[in-house]
Structure 1
Amino acid sequence: MMNKNKTVVRSMDILNLFIDHTELSFHEIIKLSEIPKTSVYRMLQTLEEIGFIKKGADDNYRLDMLFLKFGHLVSNRLDVRKIAYPIMQGIHKDFKEAVILAIRDGKEAIYVEIINEKQKVRINTAIGHKSPLYVGACPRAIFSFLPEYEINVFLESVELESYAEGTITDMEKLFKRIKQERQQGFSISHSELENHISAVAAPIYNHLGEVVAAMGIAGFEANYQGGNIDIFVGELLKATIEISRQLGYEQP
């Protein structure tokens, strides 16, 4: 590409040095990058201020937690999608319902995979679409299984908005629903994000026992009554347990 920002490119050159080195001194960075001393000094200050690198007591530089966090998120997202996709295809083939995979993105859930080729009812959700964590089965299957302090901090900072006729906008009812979902191990929604559409969803955990995603089955609400819910939930929990296992999660 033409018109590359020289400072950005040079900063990336510095960061790329840490692919092969766990730590580097100021002079080693200058030597390896072949960037002028004053430029290296300025860029290291900026990279340190925004949290990409950290200068230790020994004056050596190392990658800081923000950079490692981004790498961890990318790894999780790619692994979850890759592992989940064939399992999602199997569920879709069996039930002819939409199968959805979502991950957390701050205060929202973002849909990273959707399979709904065989379903007669169109779901107005697309890959890349975001929803608040408290609305809908998939987002809440992430939200309800976060540590309690994270749930409380989130709810203290958000105003509950209505998206469809079934959206929970009463804080007391939402707390009650979260408690219920934590106990039963899955989430269910009726007309929360879209009228006449229901869904069931369950959390997916990584090797640290953290919720990193949720998988859901969604379709016309008439199909999500009585015994059908038990059938959907049974298959869903088997699927999310298997995905979590492949991510290194060990059930307590």
Structure 2
Amino acid sequence: MQSKNKTVVRSMDVLNLFLTHSRLSLSEMVQFSGMPKTSVYRMVTAFEEMGFLEKDEEGNYSLGLLFLQFGQLVSERLDIRQIALPVMQRLRDEVGEAVNLIVQDGEEAIYIEKLETKQAVGLFTKVGRRSPLYAGACSRIILAFLPNDEREDYLNRIELRPMASGTITDKTKLLPMLEESRKLGYTLSRSELADHTCAIAAPIFNNNGQIVAGISIAGINVNFQEEKLPLLIEKVKSAADELSQKLGYVEM
């Protein structure tokens, strides 16, 4: 094991002490961890500077507010997943295609839930997969509904790289597509993340009207012929609207 990996493991050993203790002194951390005092001191000092630990007037340490922020993010995403799963199952059964639930994670989108199609031929995606916000229906629906300043800042910084034959790599083409998605309430993509595939996505909003996730159906291109699109779009938008309502969103 590399030395820096050992350091990470030892650092986690110190933080794990707070799973069973609300407050600890430096001496107690040394005693419980069995590590040299100088090593523990360096770790604790770094954790305090980063906001992972807080020190009170008596010199005791407790977990910092940064953990509360991380915990809130995880809680929100898990709640979305739990709320979404029954709706996703119904949507999958109605349309016969794979259903994805995606949230934003920095400059990427990440799949937090996936229901496979029951058809013999489908797409390979998995929970934890990441994609750039500009590529693929579910990723791009998040980008489309970001606040204007966030979206512009992202587009100014990002380079549009091809992922498959249909990836949009021209910003002059991408911008009107984002505006159209905001107006219509959905996004359609073809061969953007993988060739010969198609996806339809719609946005999910919270009680503050902010986009928190995207839901999509995805499959092979031949299953998304033009005459089928209106019904498929209606189904995806309806599922997204239902989830938004469950999160407290009220359309103005």
What residue is the counterpart of 2:139 in the other structure?
A: 139
Q: Tell me, what secondary structure is at the counterpart of 1:78? A: helix
What residue is the counterpart of 2:12 in the other structure?
A: 8
TM-aligned CA deviation for residue 65 of structure 1: 5.6
What residue is the counterpart of 1:118 in the other structure?
A: 118
* Residue identity in the other structure for 1:184: L
Q: Which runs of 5+ in 2 are unaligned?
A: 1-5, 32-36
* Residue identity in the other structure for 1:10: V
* Residue identity in the other structure for 1:212: V
What residue is the counterpart of 2:217 in the other structure?
A: 217
TM-aligned CA deviation for residue 66 of structure 1: 3.6
What residue is the counterpart of 2:34 in the other structure?
A: none
Report 1:201-240 matches (<5 A).
201-240=201-240
Per-residue CA deviation, residues 79-110 of structure 1 (Å, 9 max, x unaligned), is 11111111111111111111111122221111
Per-residue CA deviation, residues 98-128 of structure 1 (Å, 9 max, x unaligned), is 1111122221111222222312332132222
What residue is the counterpart of 1:78 in the other structure?
A: 78
Per-residue CA deviation, residues 31-70 of structure 1 (Å, 9 max, x unaligned), is 9x9446988875553223223356799x998865642331
* Residue identity in the other structure for 1:219: G
Paired positions, count: 240
What CA distance in whole angstroms lies between the structure 1 residues aligned with 2:207 and 2:47?
30
* Residue identity in the other structure for 1:172: T
What CA distance in whole angstroms lies between the structure 1 residues aligned with 2:191 and 2:241?
27
Report 1:14-29 matches (<5 A).
14=18, 29=24
Q: Tell me, what secondary structure is at the counterpart of 1:99? A: strand
**Does the C-alpha gap of structure 1 residues 7 and 131 become closer, same or farther in structure 2, counting only changes over 3 Å?**
closer
What CA distance in whole angstroms lies between the structure 1 residues aligned with 2:145 and 2:207?
15
TM-aligned CA deviation for residue 221 of structure 1: 2.2
What CA distance in whole angstroms lies between the structure 1 residues aligned with 2:69 and 2:185?
27
What residue is the counterpart of 2:153 in the other structure?
A: 153
Taking only the aligned residue pairs, the percentage that are identical comes to 41
Normalization by structure 1: what TM-score?
A: 0.80
TM-aligned CA deviation for residue 247 of structure 1: 2.4
What CA distance in whole angstroms lies between the structure 2 residues aligned with 1:54 and 1:30?
11
Of the structure 1 ranges 59-68 and 114-123, higher mean CA displacement relative to structure 2 is found in: 59-68
What CA distance in whole angstroms lies between the structure 1 residues aligned with 2:205 and 2:65?
21
What residue is the counterpart of 2:99 in the other structure?
A: 99
What CA distance in whole angstroms lies between the structure 1 residues aligned with 2:151 and 2:103?
16
- Whether the 8 Å contact between 2:205 and 2:249 is mirrored in structure 1 is yes
Q: Which runs of 5+ in 1 are unaligned?
A: 19-27
What residue is the counterpart of 1:48 in the other structure?
A: 48
- Whether the 8 Å contact between 1:98 and 1:119 is mirrored in structure 2 is no
What CA distance in whole angstroms lies between the structure 2 residues aligned with 1:133 and 1:248?
25
What residue is the counterpart of 1:22 in the other structure?
A: none
What CA distance in whole angstroms lies between the structure 1 residues aligned with 2:150 and 2:19?
31
**Does the C-alpha gap of structure 1 residues 156 and 203 become closer, same or farther in structure 2, counting only changes over 3 Å?**
same
- Whether the 8 Å contact between 2:25 and 2:61 is mirrored in structure 1 is no
**Does the C-alpha gap of structure 1 residues 56 and 158 become closer, same or farther in structure 2, counting only changes over 3 Å?**
farther
- Whether the 8 Å contact between 2:190 and 2:198 is mirrored in structure 1 is yes
- Whether the 8 Å contact between 2:24 and 2:62 is mirrored in structure 1 is no
CA RMSD of aligned residues (A): 3.1
What residue is the counterpart of 2:164 in the other structure?
A: 164
**2:25 counterpart of 1:30:** yes
Q: Tell me, what secondary structure is at the counterpart of 2:25? A: helix
**Does the C-alpha gap of structure 1 residues 17 and 185 become closer, same or farther in structure 2, counting only changes over 3 Å?**
farther
- Whether the 8 Å contact between 1:79 and 1:247 is mirrored in structure 2 is no
What CA distance in whole angstroms lies between the structure 2 residues aligned with 1:225 and 1:187?
15
Report 1:59-78 matches (<5 A).
66-78=66-78
